[in-house]
Amino acid sequence: MTDSLGSTDAWAGALRAHGRRVTKQRLAVLAAVERHPHSPAEGILAAAREELPDLTAQSVYVVLGDLTELQMLRRFEPPHSPALYETRVGDNHHHAVCVSCGRVEDVECAVGHAPCLTPHWEAGSKPMTIQIADVLYQGVCEECQRNQKLPTRN
């Protein structure tokens, strides 16, 4: 079902640990997201249909929602883009998005420990314990810079 039996076994174990049945639909969606990180639901549907041609869009949306709620998948929403999904969860990494072509790259935690950023609380506010910082870098990738003959910046 997935590229390797090890991945299938790991996903099956994680599903069981969360009290979910191991179904071919769930495994197909997980495998599709793992093979195509940073994909929208439509892309995941197309990839999962390579394994399960009769898979419905509704099934994929239900599975994506459920697995995101279980934190087996991460959902993030770049500006001007549909929600994107990935299997990399629990490490508080960030994303860089090319504003020209839309390519998305993972960015490791920039500084220090998760959540990477320390908020400044204004006097009179009610501070909270921060668990996750979600940073989105926006720029132009090297390929788009070359194609558009834009100056590179660091």
Q: How far apart are CA 94 and CA 80, in angstroms?
A: 17
pTM equals 0.83
State the pLDDT confidence band at 127, using cuts at 50, 70 and 90.
confident
Q: Is the pLDDT of residue 143 over 50?
A: yes
Identify the architecture of domain 5-76 in CATH: Orthogonal Bundle (1.10)
Long-range Cβ contact pairs of 147-153 (< 8 A, separation 24 or more): 148/100
- CATH 3.30.1490.190 in the chain is located at 90-148
Give the model confidence (pLDDT) of 38-64 as tens digits.
999 999 999 999 999 999 999 999 999
In the chain, CATH 1.10.10.10 covers 5-76
Please tell me the distance from the alpha carbon of residue 141 to that of residue 96, in angstroms, as a whole number: 9
Q: Determine contact, residues 54/24, Cβ cutoff 8 Å.
A: no
CB 48 within 8 A of CB 56: no
**Architecture of the domain whose range is 90-148:** 2-Layer Sandwich (3.30)
